[in-house]
């Protein structure tokens, strides 16, 4: 693929192009060490390897800043899905909360197949893929930078600013630019950015193939990536009719979905499931989250001008990309305000999360901001580059540490965990019957020190539904809502009620074991207990 090779070689011009002699000297000494044949030099192979290695170092630094928690948050769903794809009977009846993800995304089944074929331990695979997808994400960002800026200092600034900002949340959408764990978004996001670059180059077949891949990994994100691509095409061709038709189609689709539900009476359980996702409804967002929607639109509106700072003509691709982001952002906000309301008789549009396109808008914004910072602030001063990115990276890494205070910043495979909850879940995996059924407090994932560690993914046991992750599944897959509501109601306040009430609530569900925090009062036998968690027999 000549285009890919060219992008790699251009993407990673060593610090020499930026005047970063100290960095270039160090990296050059490392990468140039050892003999290499004249043939490799003549073919340019070594140059490509060197450039790819520099991008890999950037990806590793990005992972270190963002953190890595293989079983955290949504990874608890996807990793459990990988294990279920390998062993369909693993989770008993609670597999109902995992099966829908297996049906709509290639990611869990593909991962299970790769792990089996390559004979890799699961945790080694997860870490390797986290680094690989981060590399792909940065490569995709470089593709945008190359099309938006002409000078190396601008492109390098765009890449590094985006890399260091990967831990940031995308307004109040419950998305991060990059998750500190592996999910289907780890693939769909870089593929979406690559599809946008293909559209800027007007390579329709390439864009279509990339969109097909996105659909295999994430059926929801492919809808928004495809709409982005079509809107970009209309902007590039200066088709006002095309832009108007696409914007109108977005409203028509939302109206059609809402109208199709006019005769459907949502259950109380489903209404509670969608209501538990506050980010579904723009009216529930905090002021700073609203600012997180307005700021990218305003910033990208400035980049959509025909003249860059200083009066020079702006690159046409940058103008088109910025204008597309502004139109997409305004359309998404309008659809959310009009059709994703808590008071609506149908919450199906809200469940489709029309503000998710802001994930792609954020990447475009940081690429453009980074290019501007590179050329106006950092320029060719090595110390400015080092101070800015080292300081920003350290600050964001500390913020990520505060989000996972009881866990290592990067949880490496095979390393002993310092998280008491994860140790308890591992004890359960190794010391309880494979068919045992567990109950945890409905809000256990928010317990201080739990660090959002997914029970099923680690313990490999059946468990009653929780309010957080299983609630998200119920909000998207409405057939799960009734069961979710009943089970999470049974486990609400499990840490605070007495043993008699626990037995009364949980016995009808066939629960054998319960997991309580260390401060919970109980007379039940607890073969595992430490300063964070108790694992107790219910019967």
Give the single-character DSSP code of 507: G
Q: What angle do CA 83, 221, 185 make, to 5 degrees?
A: 40
In the predicted model, what is the mean pLDDT of the chain? Answer: 88
CA atoms within a 13 Å half-sphere pointing along the CA-CB vector of 404: 29
Compute CA 187 distance to the chain's CA centroid, rounded to the nearest angstrom.
Answer: 9
Residue 473 has pLDDT above 60, yes or no: yes
From the list 68, 358, 277, 308, the residue with the least C-alpha distance to 186 is 68
Mean pLDDT of 403-422: 94
Mean pLDDT of 358-367: 97
Least confident of 123-137, 243-257, 302-316: 302-316
Residue 44 has pLDDT above 90, yes or no: no
Instruction: Give the alpha-carbon dihedral of 197, 203, 206, 207, to 10 degrees.
Output: 60
Region at 202 (left for phi over 0; alpha for psi -120 to 50; beta for the rest): left
- The CA distance from 410 to 489, in Å, is 35
- The CA distance from 382 to 24, in Å, is 10
CB 98 within 8 A of CB 77: yes
Would you place residue 30 in the very low, low, confident or very high pLDDT band (cuts 50, 70, 90)? very low
pLDDT of res. 45: 56
CB 337 within 8 A of CB 354: no
- Percent of the chain whose predicted confidence (pLDDT) is above 90: 78
- The CA distance from 134 to 447, in Å, is 29
Q: Give Cβ neighbours of residue 232 (< 8 Å, ≥ 6 apart).
A: 196, 199, 200, 320, 321, 324
From the list 310, 303, 411, the residue with the least C-alpha distance to 365 is 303
CB 79 within 8 A of CB 454: yes
Residue 47 has pLDDT above 80, yes or no: no
Would you place residue 403 in the very low, low, confident or very high pLDDT band (cuts 50, 70, 90)? very high
Residue 109 has pLDDT above 80, yes or no: yes
For the chain, the distance separating the N- and C-terminal CA atoms, rounded to the nearest angstrom, is 61
Task: Select the more confidently predicted residue: 313 or 153.
Answer: 153
- Percent of the chain whose predicted confidence (pLDDT) is above 70: 89
Compute CA 391 distance to the chain's CA centroid, rounded to the nearest angstrom.
Answer: 24
Least confident of 69-73, 341-345, 349-353: 341-345
* Helices first, then strands: H and E counts in the chain: 24, 5
- The CA distance from 537 to 40, in Å, is 65
Least confident of 295-299, 309-313, 504-508, 529-533: 309-313
Q: What is the pTM of this model?
A: 0.89
Mean pLDDT of 84-94: 92
From the list 493, 481, 409, 401, the residue with the least C-alpha distance to 447 is 493
């Amino acid at each position: 693929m000549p285009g890919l090779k060219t992008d790699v070689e251009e993407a990673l011009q060593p610090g020499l192009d930026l005047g970063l002699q100290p960095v270039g000297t160090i990296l050059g000494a490392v990468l140039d060490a050892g003999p290499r044949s004249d043939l490799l030099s003549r073919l340019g192979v070594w140059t490509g390897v060197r450039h790819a290695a520099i991008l890999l170092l950037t990806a590793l630094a990005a992972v270190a800043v963002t953190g890595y928690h293989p079983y955290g948050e949504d990874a608890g769903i996807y990793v459990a899905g990988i294990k279920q794809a390998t062993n369909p009977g693993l989770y008993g009846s609670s597999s109902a909360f995992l099966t829908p993800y297996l049906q709509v995304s290639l990611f869990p089944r593909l991962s299970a197949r790769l792990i089996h074929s390559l004979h890799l331990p699961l945790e080694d695979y997860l870490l390797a893929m986290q680094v690989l997808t981060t590399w792909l994400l940065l490569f995709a960002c470089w593709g945008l930078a190359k099309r938006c800026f002409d000078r190396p200092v601008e492109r390098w600034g765009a890449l590094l600013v985006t890399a260091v900002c990967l831990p940031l949340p995308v307004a109040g959408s419950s998305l991060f630019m990059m998750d500190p764990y592996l999910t289907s978004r780890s693939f769909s996001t870089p593929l979406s950015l690559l599809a946008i670059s293909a559209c800027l180059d007007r390579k329709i077949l390439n864009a279509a193939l990339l969109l097909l891949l996105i659909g295999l990994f994430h059926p929801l994100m492919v809808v928004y990536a495809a709409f982005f691509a079509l809107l970009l095409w209309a902007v590039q061709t200066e088709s006002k009719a095309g832009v108007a038709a696409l914007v109108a189609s977005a409203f028509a689709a939302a109206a059609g979905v809402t109208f199709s539900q006019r005769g459907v009476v949502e259950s109380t359980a489903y209404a509670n499931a969608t209501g538990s996702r506050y980010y579904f409804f723009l009216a529930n967002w905090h002021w700073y989250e609203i600012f997180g929607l307005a700021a990218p639109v305003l910033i990208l509106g400035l980049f959509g001008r025909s003249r860059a700072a200083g009066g020079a003509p702006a690159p046409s691709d940058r103008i088109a990309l910025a204008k597309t982001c502004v139109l997409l952002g305004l359309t998404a906000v309008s659809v959310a305000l009009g059709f994703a309301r808590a008071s609506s008789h149908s919450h199906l549009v809200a469940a489709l999360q029309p503000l998710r396109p802001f994930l792609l808008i954020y990447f475009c914004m940081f690429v453009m901001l980074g290019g501007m910072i590179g050329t106006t602030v950092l320029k060719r001063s090595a110390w400015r580059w080092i101070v800015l990115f080292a300081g920003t990276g350290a600050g964001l890494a500390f913020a990520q540490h505060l989000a996972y205070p009881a866990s290592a910043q990067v949880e490496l495979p095979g390393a002993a965990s310092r998280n008491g909850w994860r140790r308890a879940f591992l004890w359960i995996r190794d010391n309880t019957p494979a068919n045992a059924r567990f109950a945890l407090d409905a809000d256990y994932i928010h317990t201080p020190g739990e660090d959002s560690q997914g029970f099923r993914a680690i313990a490999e046991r059946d468990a009653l539904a929780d309010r957080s992750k299983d609630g998200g599944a119920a909000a998207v897959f409405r057939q799960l809502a009734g069961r979710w509501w009943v089970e999470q109601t049974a486990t609400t306040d499990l840490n605070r009620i007495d043993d008699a009430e626990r037995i009364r609530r949980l016995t009808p569900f066939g629960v054998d074991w319960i997991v309580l925090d260390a401060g919970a009062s109980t007379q039940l036998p607890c073969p595992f207990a430490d300063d964070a968690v108790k694992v107790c027999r219910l019967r």
